[in-house]
Structures are given as C-alpha cells and as structure tokens.
Amino acid sequence: MAHPLFIFNLLLGVLLTTAPTAHARTGAAAETISSGLAQLSETYNTYAEDGLAIDYPSGWRIERPSQQSIRLMNYDPIAPLTEVSAPIKTEIWLIDENPAVVVGRELDTLQQEQAQVNRYRVVTVDQQSGIRIWLGGLTGDFSHAIKTYVGYGDRQTVMIVSHYASPGEADEAAAIEIEAAVLRIHDSFKKLAIADES
C-alpha cells in the first residue's frame, strides 16, 4: 500500500504543474474578506515592490531580507515575543524551482520533523493553482503555521508561510480572527509584471 504522504505529494506535483486556473473572487468571498468580522485590523495596506504585491494589516512591520523574500510582522522583532498577545510572522519567498520539487522537499521536511498536519486544501491565489497546509503542535515561539505554495508554470514557486501562537481553545474568537487575517494576507499575493528596462 502506498504511503499517504507519497500520494499527497504526487497529487500536488500534478496540481501545481498544470496550467493556471482563472478563478475570480466571488462576491461572497470578497464580502467575507472585507467584513469587520475576524480582522486584526480594519484597514490594510499593500506592499508592492520588485514585481511582488501583498496586503498586510496597517501597523505591521515589513522587512526585505533579500530580493526573493519579504517578512511581515505584527511585533517588533527586537522586543520579546511575550510582550505581544498574538504574535504573527508571515514570510514570502519567490523560489526559482518547479512547484512539485519545492512542495516535495517541504513535505519531506514536515515528515522528518513529524509535524502535525491539521488540514490541507487546494487553493487559487493570483489566478494560479496552489496548496495550503495548516500545521499545529510546532515547537518554539509559534505553535501553529499556515503554508501556501503557489505554482507559476513549472519554473517558479511562491511559498507564503505564516507562523503564529494559538490563543487556545478558550478563545475561539481570537483564533478565528488570527486565521482570517493570515488567510487574507496569503490570498492577496500577486506577482506583478515588471516592465523591461531597455
């Protein structure tokens, strides 16, 4: 019998290397995103630079560790995380590799770390096919993560990873608010066309 992770990996490879799908946000989805329910911030800004664009809640910090990555945080990275009630860190990487290779490597790492996969789902981000994975039970400052992998043909992958500490079962409203904000960030990603400089 084939290992479930192998089957999952095979499905991802096929999904992420197929032609992009053209799904527009429906009115219901846009309404959910814009509603006041479950948002960390009523207002969002858009970061757009070097061919990448992503929305983030007002007041968050932005770092650009490299040309191929962006980091968004709702806390001061110098201050102790204990001073923040719900720390969230989102990192975006533009990887010049086949999506099946990137996702396969990531799944191998999750398996080696014995990460707890809570759920996964096929998604559309920037009119491209992708996969989203919810993780829990992580060690360190952040107990949970949501990872989104978006394929651009067979040569490029965008990986969006949000790390956060779960507020616990006692505060379900806060958990819903965190997840809604994280998903809004992930779903807003766009790869912009860069004009040739000739």
Residue 36 has pLDDT above 80, yes or no: no
| pTM, two decimal places | 0.78
Residue 87, C-beta contacts closer than 8 angstroms, at least 6 positions apart? 73, 74, 75, 81, 141, 142, 164, 165
Is residue 162 included in any domain, yes or no? yes
Which domain range does residue 140 map to? 4-191
Q: pLDDT per residue over 125-149, tens digit each?
A: 999 999 999 999 888 888 899 999 9
d(CA 70, CA 63): 6
CATH code: domain of residue 152: 3.40.1000.10
Looking at the domain assignment, is residue 198 inside a domain? no
Question: Into how many domains does the chain fold?
Answer: 1
